[in-house]
Amino acid sequence: MSGAVGREPVFPTRQSLGLMKSKLKGAETGHSLLKRKSEALTKRFREITRRIDEAKRKMGRVMQIAAFSLAEVSYAVGGDIGYQVQESAKQARFRVRAKQENVSGVFLPQFESYTQDGVNDFALTGLGKGGQQIQRCRETYARAVETLVELASLQTAFLILDEVIKVVNRRVLTKSSEHVIIPRTENTIKYINSELDELDREEFYRLKKVSGKKQRDNAAADAEILAARKKAEAEEAAGGVVAAEPETADILGEQEDNDVIF
């Protein structure tokens, strides 16, 4: 795999090694953050899914009870009140307001139901008969609608989370820091390290060579001096008389001077 992703086109210097190292660290941090975000969202998502399932079942029961209480009303009133109810509906008493909840930087709306006081469109409904049943029916339906609102907020959160998780997972994958950037950077670091080691070895070898040559030169120089000294001693011992009467050189005499070579 390391061969497939290649490496960055950099010069193998210590500076770029430092750059690459910080880049690797950044990529790893970023990747793990994204992954953690995705995991947190997925966890939340599963929880919401489970709660949707529960709420849907609950809704089935609640709506059944509500329908039953409506049947009670029709029985008590002795006729259809549908038309009357539809005509008298004017202002919504039962409203929702949306709140926000923050999950890993994703805003999930949450509906909250509330009833607006002082609005009652059905003051006259069931005035003749069945008023009590109608009152009970209204309460039952209000509870049912509360369940529905709860379910609606779960569902909205579900839809939004679904979308966000898709985006985040796509980023985790397509950014593919895991499969491209991180190995690539690692490769580059390896390459730079090996090149630097190579340079180190070369340098070491060169220094060794230099010092070896110096030693050889020194040894040779020592030997020469030693030899010259020995020769001088031997000459001294052999020609003591000669040495006693050293030939005084006539410096002003006709003599070939040695050429001075620098």
Partner 1 sequence: MASAATYKDRQLLAVIGDEDSVTGLLLAGIGHVTEGADAQRNFLVVDAKTETSQIEQAFQNFTQERKDIAVLLINQHIAERIRHSVDSFADPFPAVLEIPSKDHPYDPEKDSVLKRVRRLFGE
Q: How far is the CB of 107 from partner 1 (least distance, A)?
A: 7
Structure token pair of residue 36: 């953690």
**Is the Cβ of residue 67 or residue 196 nearer to partner 1 in the bound state?**
67
**Is the Cβ of residue 139 or residue 224 nearer to partner 1 in the bound state?**
139
**Is the Cβ of residue 153 or residue 177 nearer to partner 1 in the bound state?**
153
**Is the Cβ of residue 27 or residue 164 nearer to partner 1 in the bound state?**
164
Q: How many CB atoms lie within 10 A of CB 5?
A: 16
Say which amino acid occupies 6. Answer: G
Q: How far is the CB of 94 from partner 1 (least distance, A)?
A: 4
Q: How far is the CB of 38 from partner 1 (least distance, A)?
A: 14
Q: How far is the CB of 131 from partner 1 (least distance, A)?
A: 12
Instruction: List Cβ<8 Å contacts ≥24 apart for 110-117.
Output: 110/153, 110/157, 111/149, 111/150, 111/152, 111/153, 111/156, 112/149, 113/145, 113/146, 113/149, 115/142, 116/91, 116/92
**Is the Cβ of residue 80 or residue 217 nearer to partner 1 in the bound state?**
80
Query: What residues make contact with partner 1 under the rule CB under 8 A?
Result: 49, 52-53, 56, 59-60, 63-64, 66-67, 69-71, 80-82, 85-86, 89-98, 100, 106-107, 109, 111, 115, 119, 121-122, 125, 134, 137-138, 141-142, 144-145, 148-149, 151-153, 155-156, 158-160, 162, 164
205 alpha carbon, distance to own chain's centre: 43
Report d(CA 181, CA 154) in Å as an integer: 38
**Is the Cβ of residue 40 or residue 152 nearer to partner 1 in the bound state?**
152
Q: How far is the CB of 7 from partner 1 (least distance, A)?
A: 38
**Is the Cβ of residue 69 or residue 177 nearer to partner 1 in the bound state?**
69
Tokens 């998780």 found at: 165
Count of residues in the chain: 262
Q: How far is the CB of 95 from partner 1 (least distance, A)?
A: 4
Q: How far is the CB of 32 from partner 1 (least distance, A)?
A: 24
